[in-house]
Amino acid sequence: MRQGHLFVVSGPSGAGKGTVLKRLINEYDNLEYSISATTRHSRKGEVDGKDYFFLTENDFFKLVDDDRFIEWAKVHNNYYGTPKDYVLEMIEKGKDIILEIDIQGAKQVCESYPEAIFVFLAPPSLEELARRLDQRGSENRHTKEVRLNNAREEMKERENYDYEIINDKIDQAVLKLKSIIIAENCKIK
């Protein structure tokens, strides 16, 4: 039976990863979102094994020690990670699986699972990114500067990726990501 693939979508914050992926998941069958493990408490309505795998810190670090994460990180005092077993199980079943992650996380995936396909989602320009951050409204001036500086640095990472999608039109970006997934499934190894 054919195996699935792991697609890693990364890029600077504000490039539109979440929006593109939400649209894609609706349009494309045979594609699963990767489910993260986390040590944070579940919120109302969140389902264990669907939204997240909720773990105690002890259990989380047992998995870390056993090298059972494709990547993991600490965010705001909680730990988040991508469990290897879930991803490998989906791939074995022939399912494609997609992981939305920041640049640092993508680097970790590249080390632990280099067979993944890496897609860099870029904003049309840093000016446009600044405009998008303004629109979010929630950013103060300092946070915005930090994010823009990060983005400037992160844009340099693109050359380590397999594909680049410049997210100037959402429809086009979704079509491109979908095309990459279809094309990778036609590849002769």
Give min distance, CB of 161 to its own copies, in A. Answer: 6
Per-residue b/e over 151-189, b at no fewer than 16 CB within 10 Å? beebbebbeebebebbbeeeeebbebbbebbeeeeeeee
Please say whether the beta carbons of 85 and 49 come within 8 A: no
Ligand-binding site membership of 12 (annotated):
yes
Query: Which CB atom, from 60 or from 120, has the smaller least distance to its own copies?
Result: 120
**Taking CB under 8 A as the rule, does residue 163 contact its own copies?**
yes
**Taking CB under 8 A as the rule, does residue 7 contact its own copies?**
no
Give min distance, CB of 22 to its own copies, in A. Answer: 20
Please say whether the beta carbons of 180 and 161 come within 8 A: no
Ligand-binding site membership of 123 (annotated):
no
**Taking CB under 8 A as the rule, does residue 1 contact its own copies?**
no
**Taking CB under 8 A as the rule, does residue 162 contact its own copies?**
yes
Burial class (CB in 10 A: 0-12, 13-18, 19+), 3: middle
Query: Which CB atom, from 78 or from 179, has the smaller least distance to its own copies?
Result: 179
Query: Which CB atom, from 67 or from 171, has the smaller least distance to its own copies?
Result: 171
**Taking CB under 8 A as the rule, does residue 159 contact its own copies?**
yes
**Taking CB under 8 A as the rule, does residue 23 contact its own copies?**
no
* Pairing status of strand 96-100 against strand 31-33: parallel
**Taking CB under 8 A as the rule, does residue 88 contact its own copies?**
no
- Lookup: tokens for 170: 């959402």
Going by C-beta distance under 8 Å and a sequence separation of 6 or more, which residues neighbour residue 155? 12, 122, 126
What is the rounded CA–CA span in Å between residue 51 and residue 67? 22
- Known binding positions: 11-18
Give the footprint of its own copies on this chain (CB under 8 A): 119-120, 158-159, 161-165, 175-176, 178-180, 182-184, 186-188
